[in-house]
């Protein structure tokens, strides 16, 4: 017989009632935001000038208070006390770590750290100006040349933020007479760039090249410039597009193709050169290569690689580059050293790929829903509700495993999940133990 708590309700019924109450509260807040009361000359309502009454903050409080009532602690903003790789220290305790992007173990690598230290000694901690004014340093050129060479294209440009790379590039290159067509699961940074550009935005079903082809056949003639945006590895699902097919479509419809390689460069391909190497395409087949320095390349910031005209255009006119301080020398030097280490030690990439495949195969064998993940770097465990995802994360934490929940609205409520980032420094024993614990705890939910 099911255990009953206070009031005679089972734990499952109590959870359902709490979720329904939270949903009603959130709907009420959203309705108030969509239909604000008219402003009169007599008084300005407090919600228009008080931060604690903003709809977004009220939603946050409702979710946090609801989680607290169900005994679920905040899984976010845990304080990591050292280098976060395959393991990490939190509160003086060592955890198996699946919540960091340190795919190749290069953040903390001796050669990478030494390069950053030498850059500080040579250039200081900041270039203290935008690069066009007086912030240009040799390390910027070296990093950009190395990235362009890795992609087999003319040139590259680095930005101080990965998110801002997409925002400023898309926001600057496109305008109101243009169209941006993107995968429905594209990153927020691309969406924000589209809003900034003023271009028309249309999405197509995830990785569905036929739907994209049909959409462009219908819409292309109505716009001047058209940009297609996809990702190398999708950060929530761990899967990839059929890149040669997307290249063929963009060529036929005379569009630009932009590939966001935030999670695929350093991960895909025999030598870690990304989806280009994985699919056997030429660098020039894609118009705009975008990536971040904060994952496999152990730094912070983003880059665009492509033909000379694209890069020069951005260097002289893109606001997010022109009006921003140049990349910090130790960050640029660290990413350059990481890239050189990646090229010199491709076995790191192969170990990462092997660990990802091991995790994926064991998880599927244990009945864990891994969605469409290819097992290269990002593997979800889809559990079906935000409540279950938060509880599973907390349960793993008690077992010494750090894996973060991805909750609504970051993903649809029915697709709430834990997300496991692989590292080449995870061992086979780490993977076996983790999957065993996940499967065990899923049965208890």
Q: What is the pLDDT of residues 411-431, one digit of tens each?
A: 889 999 999 999 999 999 999
Produce one character per residue of 107-119: b if its CB has 16 or more CB atoms within 10 Å, e if not: bebeebbebbeeb
What pLDDT, on the 0 to 100 scale, is given for residue 43?
A: 84
What's the pLDDT at 6? 43
Instruction: Give the torsion through C-alpha atoms of 106, 141, 231, 239, to 10 deg.
Output: -20
DSSP symbol at 179? E
Catalytic member of 163, 263, 278, 430: 263
Confidence of residue 22 (pLDDT cuts 50, 70, 90): low
Q: Residues 7-35: what's their mean pLDDT? A: 61
Q: Which CATH architecture has domain 110-344?
A: 3-Layer(aba) Sandwich (3.40)
pLDDT digits (tens, 9 = 90+) for 166-185: 999 999 999 999 999 999 99
pLDDT in tens, 206-220: 999 999 999 999 999
pLDDT of 365-381, one tens digit each?
999 999 999 999 999 99
Cβ burial of 384 (10 Å; 0-12, 13-18, 19+) is middle
Domain range 87-101+346-444, CATH class: alpha beta
pLDDT of 25 above 70: no
Determine the pLDDT at residue 116. 98
- Contact between 383 and 414 (Cβ < 8 Å): no
- Compute CA distances 162 → 87, 169, 187, 294, 303, whole Å: 25, 11, 11, 8, 7
Q: What is the pLDDT of residue 312?
A: 97
CA distances from 234 to 135, 185, 207, 420 (A): 34, 7, 10, 13
CB 418 within 8 A of CB 381: yes
The strand pair at 417-421 and 378-382 is best described as antiparallel
Bigger pLDDT: 130 vs 60? 130
352 close to 267: Cβ distance less than 8 angstroms: yes
The verdict on whether 134 is a catalytic residue reads no
Task: Say what the pTM is.
Answer: 0.89
116, 330 Cβ separation under 8 angstroms: yes
Query: Catalytic annotation on 240?
Result: no
pLDDT of residue 4: 47
Q: How far apart are CA 237 and CA 59, in angstroms?
A: 26
Q: What percent of the chain has pLDDT over 90?
A: 81
Give me the percent of the chain exceeding a pLDDT of 70.
Answer: 90
First to last CA, the chain: 17
User: In this model, does residue 402 exceed pLDDT 70?
Assistant: yes
pLDDT over threshold 90, residue 26? no
Please state the rounded mean pLDDT for residues 321-347: 98
Q: Give the helix ranges, DSSP H, for 373-414.
A: 386-398
Picking from 49-63, 190-204, 294-308, which range would have the lowest pLDDT averaged per residue?
A: 49-63
Going by their DSSP bridges, the two strands 378-382 and 401-402 should be labelled as unpaired
HEC per residue, 314-344:
HHHHCHHHHCCECCCHHHHHHHHHHHHHHHH
> Which residue among 295, 388, 426, 430 is the active-site one?
295
pLDDT of residue 350: 98
Q: Is 369 left (phi over 0), alpha (psi -120 to 50) or beta?
A: beta
**Whether the predicted pLDDT of 28 surpasses 80:** no
Question: Over the stretch 306-331, which tens digit does the pLDDT of each residue have?
Answer: 999 999 999 999 999 999 999 999 99
Does 295 qualify as catalytic in the annotation? yes
Pick the catalytic residue: 100, 209, 235, 415?
A: 235
Structural contact between residues 63 and 22, judged by C-beta atoms closer than 8 angstroms: yes
């Amino acid at each position: 017989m099911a255990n009953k708590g206070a009031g005679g309700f089972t734990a499952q019924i109590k959870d359902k009632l709490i979720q329904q109450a939270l949903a009603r509260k959130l709907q009420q807040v959203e309705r108030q935001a969509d239909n604000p009361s008219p402003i009169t000359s007599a008084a300005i309502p407090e919600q228009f000038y008080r931060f604690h009454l903003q709809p977004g903050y009220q939603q946050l409080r409702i979710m946090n208070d609801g989680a607290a009532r169900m005994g679920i602690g905040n899984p976010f903003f845990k304080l990591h006390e050292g280098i976060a790789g395959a393991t990490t220290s939190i509160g003086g305790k060592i955890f198996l770590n699946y919540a960091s992007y340190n795919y190749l173990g290069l953040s903390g690598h001796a050669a990478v750290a030494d390069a950053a230290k030498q850059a500080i000694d040579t250039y200081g901690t900041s270039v203290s100006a935008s690069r066009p004014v007086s912030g240009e340093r040799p390390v910027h050129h070296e990093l950009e040349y190395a990235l362009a060479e890795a992609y087999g294209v003319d040139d590259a440009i680095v930005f101080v933020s990965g998110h801002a790379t997409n925002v400023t590039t898309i926001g600057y290159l496109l305008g109101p007479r243009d169209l941006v067509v993107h995968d429905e699961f594209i990153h927020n940074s691309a969406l924000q760039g589209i809003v900034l550009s003023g271009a028309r935005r249309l999405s197509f079903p995830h990785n569905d090249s036929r739907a994209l082809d049909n959409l462009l056949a219908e819409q292309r003639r109505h716009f001047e410039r058209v940009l297609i945006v996809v990702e190398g590895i999708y950060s929530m699902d761990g899967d990839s597009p059929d890149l040669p097919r997307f290249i063929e479509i963009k060529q036929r419809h005379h569009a630009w193709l932009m590939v966001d390689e935030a999670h695929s460069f350093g991960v895909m391909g025999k030598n870690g050169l990304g989806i280009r190497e994985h699919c056997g395409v030429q660098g020039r087949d894609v118009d705009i290569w975008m990536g971040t320095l904060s994952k496999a390349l152990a730094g912070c910031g983003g880059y665009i690689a492509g033909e000379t005209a694209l890069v020069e255009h951005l260097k002289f006119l893109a606001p997010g580059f022109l009006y921003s301080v140049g990349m910090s020398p130790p960050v640029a030097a660290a990413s350059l050293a990481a890239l050189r280490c990646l090229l010199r030690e491709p076995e790191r990439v192969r170990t990462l790929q092997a660990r990802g495949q091991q995790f994926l195969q064991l998880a599927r064998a244990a009945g864990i829903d891994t969605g469409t993940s290819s097992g290269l770097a990002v593997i979800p465990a889809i559990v079906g509700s935000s409540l279950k995802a938060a509880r599973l994360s907390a349960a793993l934490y008690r077992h010494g495993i750090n894996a973060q929940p991805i909750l609504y609205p970051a993903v649809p409520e029915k697709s709430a999940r834990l997300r496991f980032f692989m590292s080449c420094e995870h061992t086979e024993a780490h993977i076996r133990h983790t999957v065993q614990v996940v499967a065990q705890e899923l049965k208890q939910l």
